[in-house]
Amino acid sequence: MVQFVAFGMLSRILQSFTVKPVNGTCYKVPVGTLAFCNWSKMQRTRREMLRAHTFPRAFTNKFVALEDLISSETEKLLVKLPSYALNQKSLILQTCANIFIGHFCSKIFSHHDPDFIKMVENFDEIFYEVNQGYAADFLPFLLPFHYKNFTKMNSHAHEIRSFIETHIIQKRYDKFQGKEPEDFVECLAKHVKECEEPKFDWNTALFALEDIIGGHSAVGNFFVKLLAYLVNEPEVQRKIQMEIDSVTEDGRSFRPVKLSDRSKCPYTEGAIFEAIRLISSPIVPRVANQDTTINGFKIKKDSLIFLNNYDLSMSEELWDNPDRFKPERFVVDNQFMKPEHFLPFGGGRRSCMGYKMVQFVAFGMLSRILQSFTVKPVNGTCYKVPVGSLALSKDTFVFKFEKRM
């Protein structure tokens, strides 16, 4: 095992470590997911198929459709949030799920649909389990002690697959006739039905679909943590609100803020990235795809290494007062600026395919919520955000949303 923080070498290093390790962690997730597969031709093809959907270019039809989707789902959230004294995380997760499913699958569900609610809960439980650190992740002989958890997660995965086939796919695969795909579901159907290279079956395609839909759990959990930071930072909230007001002022009133306003809101974007910095994964495992060296140390192909992501995010040499929540550290000359040493979504070939979705959804929801409300603490609630894990438990923070005058 090698631990390194030499961010000046990262570009070269990331090209030599494009494989994610296969170890005890794999018992927690379905085989074939994008997040845990190797750097094969199939993996590269699946990433390319996703790219147009996860990285929609500004002002294209896909971008405008995503902007409208985030706005419409956030408006529904605004109506419900103030009256939800408990389980606000569930409501936020359902909003994120509808944004993801609407964007990738052209389908929207009612927040009262019991099957939809169960699907969201299943994804969240799997996300929570995957983010727990167990010795079995690196000592596979301990796996039998986790058999009960494994059985439970497997059951959740089967229920998710059943929901997707019944409520999202339905007969879309059979009916697809080779036209220009309109969403990710049709991209997968076209690839499988037309036997495009590299060939993969519909079951593999469904794994890819489940993988990207499941990204809503990561975004929803992150967003709750973001609110937990902001509830302790009323001055940060005030600055975000002032920035949004300056962008959306329309005569004597204010229009709803939207995704395309993002470039004019560097401080709001900085607040999102400051939360990402504070909660990003402390270590990132990789496997060498070739013989290489790091700072003079010889690394053989297939060796496991760990990137010390915690140091890149929390080092006093790289950040001023790293323990403090300071969105302004990402704002230079009134422009959003991300330091090159900050790699919360990885880098190189294996960078996270969903990082733009995190930014888009978080900005769309946060800006509209703070345009309408100030987030206040609930008496008796501790808002200490846990670090080292991206996931929150089901019963977590609750907030009071006070209407702005």
Could you list the residues known to form a binding site for heme, using ranges. 352
Q: How far apart are alpha carbons 344 and 196 in whole angstroms?
A: 34
Residue list, annotated binding site: 352
Q: How many CB atoms lie within 10 A of CB 339?
A: 15
Amino acid making up residue 257: V
Q: How many CB atoms lie within 10 A of CB 263?
A: 12
Q: Concatenated DSSP letters for 54-79? A: HSPPTTSHHHHHHHHHHHHHHHHHHH
3-state secondary structure of 331: strand
Amino acid making up residue 352: C
Contacts of 200 (CB under 8 A, 6+ apart): 42, 191, 192
Amino acid making up residue 391: A
Q: What are the C-alpha distances in Å from 83 to residues 240, 266, 278, 386?
A: 24, 31, 30, 26
Exposed, middle or buried: residue 403 (CB in 10 Å: 0-12, 13-18, 19+)?
exposed
